[in-house]
Amino acid sequence: MEIVKIIGVGITALIIIIILKQYKPEFTIYVSIITGIIILIMVMDQLNAVVKVLTNLANKTGTGSTFLKILLKITGIAILTEFAVSICKDSGESAIASKIDLGGKILIISISIPIITALLELIINILP
């Protein structure tokens, strides 16, 4: 049960943060960042399994790896953006968090242009 380990790491970090806030509140952000990194490392095996399944499906369908690479980049940007936004919000910097969120969304849109273009071309070819 991987989720139990993740919850355990999260609750342990929460307890450490609560204790640190009393004595050294400036160190709480470091505990938060380290906890996030530990959790990301813990789920890397599952992420690798998902990538392998998607790669096999892309090879079977003949769509190639172009769209898969784009989708994985988009997913990576979304995950990293959410991670950074959460850290900023934990630090009380919601203004910076919203700017990071906006930047992530703009990057996702710009990276997805080839997929959007291919879909529109497919629709145009289908229409009489």
Q: What is the pLDDT of residue 63?
A: 65
Q: What is the pLDDT of residues 81-119, one digit of tens each?
A: 998 999 888 888 899 999 999 999 999 999 999 889 988
> Alpha carbon of 108 to those of 3, 9, 47, 77: distances in Å?
28, 30, 19, 7
d(CA 102, CA 81): 9
Q: What is the pLDDT of residue 10?
A: 92
**Hey, where are the domains in the chain?**
1-42, 44-128
Helices (H), the chain: 2-23, 28-42, 44-61, 65-90, 94-111, 113-126
